[in-house]
Amino acid sequence: MTENPTASLTLLSDLTPPSLERTWLTAPHPSLPILATCSSDKTVRVYSLTNFRLLSTISGGHKRSVRTCAWKPHVQGESVLATGSFDATVGIWRRWDSYGRAEDDTDVRGLSSETLNGNGRDTQKDEDDEEWRFAVLLDGHDSEVKSVSWSPSGMLLATCSRDKSIWIWEDLDDGDNNFETVAVMQEHEGDVKCVAWHPVEECLASASYDNTIRLWREDIDDWGQVACIRGHTGTVWYLDWEGIGNVPSITAVCEQGTSLSAEWKDQCAISGPRLVSCSDDRTIRIWKRKPKEQWAQSRVASSDIPSIIRPTGTDETWEEDVLLPQMHELSIYAVAWSKRTGLLASVGADGRIVVYEELLKTPAPTLDANTPTATPATTFQPHTEWVVIAILEGAHGIYEINHVAWARRADRSREENEEVLVTTADDGSIKTWTLRR
């Protein structure tokens, strides 16, 4: 792996006004050009990605810092936001969508930049469709809630806490904002920092102060651990999944380019999306699931005993796929894997933003040294190399960067797949960046 900065990060805009206290995380909306930010001042701020201005401030639901938030996917005509707080509770907020898309690009909302109180009442307008409604408070954790994540279907919500537990809640979607506790998992031996759902399967990944990553699935009406990944030597701060159908960039135009991409897709279809993690040990690691069929066959072959029974039930084997170039000098707090481009971005305590690209390389042909005219092998196995394409020092001055996320650009003149990076820092600032190549 090599360091090869071929791109630069340029500040597009700050989100204004910023929080006056630490901001923890930024969550882009799945379909609207808006995003939500969590702050130590007990609020969530919703900003426009078109004009980068504050649209609304959601407050009154939590008694301590709001550490995390996540938008529920696949909701029609309404936005649903889950928030997790250091007060050990999870809040569910709802608002009828009236965010417009103004042609003059001056606004993208049906909401002014005023503050909403805990009951969701707009202090300047009294229109029902303009209000954030504090729908329900989920109470169960014994300590600070660190992360919340919706399942791909949007029916399940995972939450994790400093109390070492992971809770899974089901949204009953009965019109009365009722949630049911589905499972409580307590296998972690330390503060659980992050939960993240697989992009298409009901498989949950969690990261912890105990230096492990664990994966969870439901088996006959009960949730349980199917894998425990040990590889980091410090707290695992954050996790993110690879996008479905991601294919690395081809390094050069060659006859094998198309076939390599196809072979790469075939391999990925067997093992599924990979998982990226970042840690207090200053490393970023990518993990890949070993296909169960191959694993089971190897077990049967080694024992010479035919078997139609899965050797380990629901257990899965996850292996380290790659260790990314080590570019951070202090703890890495967050990593984001773009679902559109496959690029990775990382941030942390050193105030640095690093962007990585995976390149699908054409291996050199194998030569037969026993023949006078060495004959190239006819088969090419695809392999990849991760390179650093951009580094930005002191992105938020002297302050630590707590989170990074990819968000689609709202500009109509831009390409559909063009994205911005959004970083969130200790000084309360939220910045958007463009990657120039």
The residues spanned by each domain of the chain are 8-98+130-294+311-363+380-436
pLDDT of residue 347: 98
Position 98 scores a pLDDT of 72
Closest CA to 108 of 179, 52, 164: 52
The pLDDT, as a whole number, for residue 128 is: 35
Place of tokens 């250091």: 86
DSSP 8-state class, residue 350: T
Q: How many CB atoms lie within 10 A of CB 52?
A: 16
CB atoms within 10 A of CB 133: 18
The span from the CA of 291 to the CA of 1, in Å, is: 26
10-residue averages of pLDDT along the chain (437 residues): 76 96 97 95 95 94 95 94 96 82 41 41 39 92 97 97 97 89 96 97 97 94 94 98 87 57 77 95 96 54 39 78 96 97 97 96 56 48 86 97 94 72 98 95
Residue where the block lists tokens 């701020």:
45
Please name which of 402, 392, 390, 408 lies closest in space to residue 430, comparing C-alpha atoms: 402
Is there a contact between 179 and 139 (Cβ–Cβ < 8 Å)?
A: no
| Rounded alpha-carbon distances, angstroms, from residue 249 to 141, 221, 343, 345, 360 | 43, 41, 10, 16, 6
pLDDT of the residue at 3: 62
Task: Please provide residue 135's backbone torsions phi and psi, each rounded to the nearest 5 degrees.
Answer: -80, -45
8-state DSSP, 267: H
Q: Which CATH class is domain 8-98+130-294+311-363+380-436?
A: mainly beta
pLDDT, residue 112, reads 40
Bridge partners, residue 407, by sequence: 420
Q: What is the pLDDT of residue 219?
A: 87
User: Which tens digit of pLDDT belongs to each residue from 91-109?
Assistant: 999 998 875 444 334 444 4
DSSP 376: B
Decide: helix, strand or coil at residue 144.
coil
**Pick from 73, 13, 75: nearest CA to 47:** 13
Strand order across the 179-185 sheet: 145-150, 156-161, 166-171, 179-185
Find the largest Cα–Cα distance for the chain.
87
Cα separation, 358 vs 344, whole angstroms: 9
CA gap 412, 62 in Å, rounded: 36
CA 178 → CA 81, 228, 304, 375, distances in Å?
15, 32, 53, 68
Spatial contact of 35 and 69, defined as CB atoms under 8 Å apart:
no
Nearest CA to 436 out of 2, 1, 5, 51 is that of: 5
What pLDDT is stored for residue 384 in this prediction? 87
249 close to 359: Cβ distance less than 8 angstroms: yes
From CA 249, how far away is CA 235, in angstroms rounded? 31
